[in-house]
Structure 1
């Protein structure tokens, strides 16, 4: 039995429930987080965002039971979403027709980012153990697209996007080999953390080499701009913009978004109007001085930004101005547009998967 909204509502206080050999996960919580219209979780920060809020659409909770949800990718042929549950070393599948949430692949080499290529195949960043980018063929076999650069192993492939010409672009920070929670701790072999391009002939090129732990990436609708999140080193998390040449090179690096020193930009997607829909939350930074003491007189250092104020999706216009915010009860790491019309926003958020119908469509 798959976990559906009907099942969830009928289970009452049963807690976390595993169905069918432990492969379907759900929680006895209402699927709709807010009953009011318009949903107060969808905040308009600039009047230009109003047209993207659907008055009678609410944030829905579709599945839970993950430890760190990441890398959602939508497959219109099957009307399903695949996303990674990194610490649990598996890829999950949400079927939007049957409203089921099941395990797609386990183990999954601590997969992180996923994407659909132009032939409908799954592209996956395996960011620990194997440390490679793979393609799942239609028959289920796995093809390795990249696992080394200039004779040295990749760091930990993180996020990936496929350009209309079939080239595959991915980031390669250190996260997957920094410890034992999202993989295995290992010593990096690359001297830099790069953004790479895989050409149709399989050639691997380091396109950007001066970012400290590049993370999410996406193209503008016309693919003349490449946007990349830098996790650290600017000093705040930032989104950098690059002009993309006809030969696949990039130039004219410019900062588009600079998060506050407590804000965490992560994965993101771009809509057809060029807006950036970004996973957002607290980066865990502490205030420089203690803000008080506990009952035993010990100093307490609080976060610079409260997660409950930051968790969700921040939307920036093409000029980098924040215009909207979707407030979630969990930090959103990454997202994807899906649904038959490309206007259902899927949000991979810590332990759970959320969705919201919006007045925007994902850029293809």
Structure 2
């Protein structure tokens, strides 16, 4: 087993990690910062600040990264200047509440999740307790400004990953412990199915590894109390828990 090294960063809540060709690791923190950590962990510099709460990160051309910001939507940031541009912050005229994670397919299409249409990141537990199922998987084509809803009714949409050949996209549904797949081309084009179900814990970020596999991180073990609230609790019980 590999030795685990903890690298402290100057900010709370480090989220997604993006690795550059030189081994530099990029991550975002709760104060809005995007940080670059050298491969040996000895040097940390601040690239810029989104003015929100950065979560998922992905590579874009021309020295930019894609940032899923829970407060501000889908953004880009330049690595040389830290300049931020908003790609999309609303869907069908309504502001996104919880932009979370993304993947980019070979044609440049951005596939990203909006975890909840009701609760923001500060109240993420409320979405799971209430079981709103308002999470969505969205797509934004190259040159487009209006995202398209591809999947809806998800129980806290979270991590997003694309297949190695860009023939499908997978989104993690945290509340129900499943990974859902959308086929983009091939004999199953247009179909939706379960990529994995009955996971042993609640999935968070997911990513395609260099081995072509979809790797899954877990936010927490299976929670019997949450399962009860989602499947058996009466509305007044959920309301009491939300107010507690």
- Whether TM-score is above 0.5 comes out as yes
Listed as ranges, the gaps of 5+ residues in structure 1 are 1-38, 40-56, 183-190, 289-364
Residues 63, 101 of structure 1: 8 Å contact kept? no
CA pair 180-210 structure 1, distance change in 2 beyond 3 A = closer
Q: How many angstroms does 1:139 deviate by? A: 4.6
Distance in 1, Cα, partners of 2:88 & 2:120: 20
Residues 118, 134 of structure 2: 8 Å contact kept? no
Listed as ranges, the gaps of 5+ residues in structure 2 are 125-132, 227-244
Residues 125, 157 of structure 1: 8 Å contact kept? yes
Distance in 2, Cα, partners of 1:180 & 1:254: 29
Distance in 1, Cα, partners of 2:157 & 2:35: 24
CA pair 97-268 structure 1, distance change in 2 beyond 3 A = same
1:61 maps to 2:6: yes
Higher RCO (C-alpha under 8 Å, 6+ residues apart): 1
* Correspondence for 1:208 among 151, 161, 169: 151
Q: Indicate the residue corresponding to 1:73 in structure 2.
A: 18
Which structure: larger Rg?
1
Residues 194-343 of structure 1 correspond to what in structure 2 (within 5 A)?
194-203=136-145, 204-232=147-175, 236-245=176-185, 250-260=190-200, 263-283=201-221, 285-286=223-224
TM-score w.r.t. length of structure 1: 0.52
* Correspondence for 1:117 among 60, 69, 76: 60
The count of aligned residue pairs is: 214
Q: SS state of the match for residue 222, structure 1?
A: coil
Structure with the higher fraction of residues in helix conformation: 2
Q: How many angstroms does 1:151 deviate by? A: 1.1
TM-score w.r.t. length of structure 2: 0.75
Residues 118, 164 of structure 1: 8 Å contact kept? no
RMSD: 2.9
Q: Indicate the residue corresponding to 1:174 in structure 2.
A: 116
Residues 127, 176 of structure 1: 8 Å contact kept? no
